[in-house]
Amino acid sequence: MANIEKIFFSPSSTTKKVVEEIANNFSYKKESFDLLNFNSEKEFSSDDIAVVGMPVFAGRIPKTARERLEKIKGDNTPAIAVVNYGNAHVTDALLELVDLLKENSFNVVAAASTVSHHSIFDGVAVGRPDFDDLEKINDFAKKCAEKIKSGEGLSSEIPGNRPYVDYKQLPFTVSCDETLCAFCYDCVSACPENAIPDDDPIDTDLDLCSRCSACIHICPEDARMFSGEAFEAKKPEFENANSERKEPEFYL
């Protein structure tokens, strides 16, 4: 009996939302693998169906997410690959995700790039995925289900280049406003890089931090934020350059 395996890395929760939207079009039992904290070996069978979602980080899939996904193998398991980006650029991320899933013995039957709010520059793609996005995503999911039933493979070309663009660390600071912090330690548990010390949630080790935004989005007091001169200088320019709406793309 097939399980739907939802696999995602989703620091600000929109990639998870897209994966769940797709998965809900299948009436099988569902399991979740949240790569913010799941970091173990796993293998699926050819009866399972994987829905795998990654956010785009500087044109790639996030380095830590990649390392965790490398431990998850298929056995000719049908897979739907999705990268979710902030209305700027996908660059090589979708190609990288499809390549990695194939290397891990998944049978990638379909792929998509979807647009969601920008998790750093919060003036970009506000409110997305919206109603129109979700309608398109559900239509895509139904086509995926038909393809899997008929045993058809992926026939579309996936955009991107090999070698992929190099990983780039963003020069922004992640900081915490001590006066707002309630010391709930949610950010400590959410951080995939162990960059926030267990005994001091005010601190962030910027050498370890990948700027993923998980701590910022989970904080119930809005105490954590992107900050610093580089961030403040880039924000208006970036938001202006990426204000025009982009649409999701689907590959079957």
Residues in touch with ligand SF4 (CB under 6 A) = 174, 176, 181-187, 190-191, 193, 195-196, 201, 204, 209-215, 218-219, 221, 223-224
Closest CA to 82 of 20, 146, 24: 20
Applying CB under 6 A, among 56, 61, 112, 195 the residue interacting with ligand FMN is: 56
Applying CB under 6 A, among 165, 170, 206, 252 the residue interacting with ligand FMN is: 170
Which partner from the list ligand SF4, ligand FMN, none does 147 bind, CB cut-off 5 to 8 Å by kind? Answer: none
CA angle 82, 87, 93 (to 5 degrees): 40
Which partner from the list ligand SF4, ligand FMN, none does 165 bind, CB cut-off 5 to 8 Å by kind? Answer: none
Among the listed ranges 64-72, 78-86, 133-141, 182-190, the one in contact with ligand FMN (CB under 6 A) is 78-86
How many residues of this chain bind ligand FMN (CB under 6 A)? 26
Nearer to ligand SF4, 99 or 122 (CB): 122
Q: Is 49 in the site for ligand FMN (CB under 6 A)?
A: no
CB of 18 to ligand FMN, least distance (A): 8
Q: Is 14 in the site for ligand FMN (CB under 6 A)?
A: yes
Among the listed ranges 32-40, 117-125, 148-156, 189-197, the one in contact with ligand FMN (CB under 6 A) is 117-125
Among the listed ranges 64-72, 111-119, 134-142, 194-202, the one in contact with ligand FMN (CB under 6 A) is 111-119
Q: Is 120 in the site for ligand FMN (CB under 6 A)?
A: yes
What residues have CB less than 8 Å from 154, skipping those under 6 apart?
A: 98, 108, 109, 110, 111, 251, 252
Q: Is 88 in the site for ligand FMN (CB under 6 A)?
A: yes
Nearer to ligand SF4, 122 or 193 (CB): 193
Which partner from the list ligand FMN, ligand SF4, none does 221 bind, CB cut-off 5 to 8 Å by kind? Answer: ligand SF4
- Tokens 């069978």 belong to 45
Report how far residue 88's alpha carbon sits from residue 129's, in angstroms, rounded to the nearest whole number.
Answer: 14
CB of 173 to ligand FMN, least distance (A): 13
163 prior amide bond cis, ω within 30: yes
- Tokens 């601190």 belong to 203
CB of 177 to ligand SF4, least distance (A): 8
Which partner from the list ligand FMN, ligand SF4, none does 129 bind, CB cut-off 5 to 8 Å by kind? Answer: none
